[in-house]
A and B are shown apart, each in its own frame.
Chain A
Amino acid sequence: MSNRKIRVLVAKPGLDGHDRGAKVIARALRDAGMEVIYTGLRQTPEMIAAAAVQEDVDAVGVSILSGAHNTLCPRIVQLLREKGMKDCLVLVGGIVPMEDLAKLKEIGVAEVFLPGSSTENIVKFLRENVKPRE
């Protein structure tokens, strides 16, 4: 692994304003030595994908609590792939019913972290799964 710090975009798509989770994760990732960019609230999939490209991130962490994950996540993944970010991991955190977990994985979400997940596990997941860069 190179010395480059892991770069993560923490994103809040949709109309929901509950950002406690997103902010706690952002701070925990920073404390773990990663570089974190937080998008702020109410970002469209297009804005998120554009920010991911611009910031050249290794992973995008998407926080959704409103039930809109099935609409928003496929579009975010697709836009990232279209923009050539094939190694960029997409992580989802929030309220996602069990039935939807497999669907999200199928469309290319690397992992879903449900309520109760520890920030330590999220850090570990990123360290183990982010592709080292040349």
Chain B
Amino acid sequence: MPETKEHSSAAEEAVERWQNETLDPAMAKRPERKKSFQTVSLQEVDRLYSPADTEPIDFNDDISFPGEFPYTRGIHPTGYRGKLWTMRQFAGFSTPEETNARFKYLLKEGQTGLSVAYDLPTLMGYDADSELSEGEVGKCGVAVSSLADMEVLFDGIPLEQVTVSQTINAPASVLLAMYLVVAEKQGASWSKISGTLQNDILKEYIAQKEWIYPIKPAMKLVVDTFAFCTEHVPRYNPVSVSGYHIREAGATAAQELAFTLRDGIEYVTWGVEAGLDVDRFVPRMSFFFNAHNDFFEEIAKYRAARRIWSREMKSRFGSSYERTLQLRFHTQTAGVSLTVQQPLNNIVRVAIQALAGVLGGTQSLHTDAYDEALALPTDRAALIALRTQQIIAEETGVVNTVDPLGGSYYLESLTKQMEDEAVEYFRKIDGMGGMVSAIEKGFPQREIQDSAYQYQKAVERGDQVIVGVNKYAMADEPSEVPILVIDETVRTHQVERLEQTRSQRDSGAVSNALEKLKLAAKNNDNTMPATIEAVSAYATLGEICSALRDVYGVYEEPAF
């Protein structure tokens, strides 16, 4: 369709010519399969992208070279030619003994980093013997109630050599303290250990909803870990700002990008207000994104993320330090995209999603196991997931050149579109007074709920195809897959250890440490030293969180 612009560029004129001479006659003979083509985020995709679409994009300013501002093409000049991404499978189930065995199995099979999944009581700051923990101990992850559990979890795993990522948020400072004490007991130096604490409380209020305290004191705890790690554990990443859960809750790719990066900006703002030096703590912030089904949209999202972050760190905080400007991220394939129906199809979905993460330049990757829509993965399913990464790394050749899709008309246009959408969301959130107030107003929560509903409608209309579910469904499905069952004996086992721990510890030291912690919380001092003292005395997670609940109160979600 010819446009009625006053000045068309040569590139636009070329597209017009193609449309008239080639496209229109072809369309007259054979129209397209459908009127509209959309991404999984329900964004319209054009028929063709050409130099006319990339005209507003400047190579030097917007794309540039890997390892150089604005890092669109990656933070390392050599991409994966220097170092492959870390293959980091998220694992945790049942008792610390069982998870320790799974960790050792994964390391033996060539995995290069660990990632701990905790169970729901741990995530919510309850001990295994709490009434609220009934039915949940060891189900969604490993159960950890005290340092005694943590010692078993990392038994025989050298923490100076293996980097460990911990998915824990509301009680993150407590689990960090336990980790540091275990490392110390192993003889590992805090100055040498490396790893990542998820510790992203903002996305809990936005999406995953595993919170304990009200937002502001919870943010204070996060800032405490920033300050503590900057001084004492300099190679440790105290936060992994996560879009993963935002996406799983139903956000579009652009919303995932926008809310995650705006969360990141919020943490930097709070850190700066607490007196931290941007160029000392921001280099240790990391990010975590989802890898969903729409291949190009995902790759564009990762590239846009790096570009936006470097620009925002420069413009908002005046940084020109390379490591502050470089966004590093972990990727996990989209659990929400996995189907119960014909579960082996999930292996294919995961492979394609993982490939998007790699082409987007991820620093580390978790590939979901094919049985995860049914239960936590079996050994066999977890192994195939790891092998998927190894095949991408060592067979496909996509790692041989840096940012192989850079310069693609479609991808560059989409990267810019993602950036524009995110910046528009920043404008709105800034207008609300920042992310904490936006969350209090329910803004990101409502945006995500709307997108989730629109997506469900699109699936039910058949506009979004899910193979094996709303198309190619089978009445009699072949082969059921074996699944991992976690029974209630796990709770009995954990409660026994907890009782033993409580009977053997110095209870005076525990109550002293808990009082110190409460005092630090009340006085607005850094809570990390007192937390470390409490976990060292074998105060339990539940006791520590309960002490902080006494000071801070608990979060009540407003109704949206």
Contacts and interface: CB of A to CB of B under 8 A. Distances in A.
Nearest to B249: A20
Contact of A95 (B135, B341, B373): B373
A20 B449 CA distance: 7
A107 interface: no
A28 B457 CA distance: 9
A15 B121 contact: yes
A95 B374 contact: yes
Contacts of A40: 557, 559
Contact of B136 (A15, A20, A28, A120): A15
Given A15-B123, A41-B557, A119-B456, A67 B375 contact: yes
Interface string A20-47: 1001100110000000000011100000
B231 interface: no
A98 B339 CA distance: 14
Nearest to B559: A40
B210 A17 contact: yes
Interface stretch (A3-11, A51-59, A68-76): A68-76
A84 interface: no
Contact of B135 (A70, A98, A116): A70
A50 B373 CA distance: 31
Contacts of B123: 15
A94 to B, nearest CB: 11
A116 B557 contact: no
A66 B136 contact: yes
B241 to A, nearest CB: 18
| Most chain A C-beta atoms within 10 Å of own C-beta, residue among B135, B249, B483 | B135
Nearest to A73: B135
Contacts of B459: 118
A116 B136 contact: no
Nearest to B121: A15
Contacts, number: 89
A17 B169 CA distance: 13
B120 A15 contact: yes
Contacts of B120: 14-16, 66
B466 A72 contact: no
Contact of A97 (B136, B456, B470, B483): B483
Interface residues of A, number: 29
Q: Report whether over half of chain A's contact residues are helix, strand or loop; otherwise say mixed.
A: loop
A19 B132 CA distance: 18
Contacts of A66: 120, 136, 139-140
Contacts of B133: 15
Contact of A71 (B135, B336, B453): B135
B480 A98 contact: yes
Q: Report whether over half of chain B's contact residues are helix, strand or loop; otherwise say mixed.
A: loop
B452 A20 contact: yes
A102 B271 CA distance: 53
Q: How large is the interface on B (under 10, 10 to 19, 20 to 34, 35 or more residues)?
A: 35 or more
Given A15-B121, A15-B124, A97-B375, A115 B340 contact: yes
B522 interface: no
Contacts of A15: 120-121, 123-124, 126, 132-133, 136, 210
A18 B375 contact: no
B250 interface: yes
B135 A23 contact: no
B134 A71 contact: yes
Contacts of A115: 339-340, 373
B209 interface: yes
B135 A68 contact: yes
Given A15-B120, A97-B374, A116-B339, A20 B139 contact: no
Interface in A95-129: 95, 97-98, 114-116, 118-120
A119 B452 CA distance: 13
B492 interface: no
Contact of A17 (B209, B452, B470): B209
A18 B209 contact: yes
B452 A116 contact: no
A114 B340 contact: yes
B208 A17 contact: yes
B469 interface: yes
Interface string B136-153: 100110000000000000
Interface string B433-455: 00000000000000001001100
Contacts of A71: 134-135, 488
Interface string B171-209: 000000000000000000000000000000000100011
Interface of A: 14-20, 23-24, 27-28, 40-42, 66-68, 70-72, 95, 97-98, 114-116, 118-120
5 contacts: A15-B136, A16-B136, A17-B209, A119-B460, A120-B460
Given A17-B208, A24-B453, A118-B470, 6 more contacts: A17-B209, A17-B211, A28-B453, A67-B486, A119-B456, A120-B460
- Report the 3 A-B pairs with minimum CB-CB distance, sorted nearest first: A71-B135, A17-B209, A68-B135
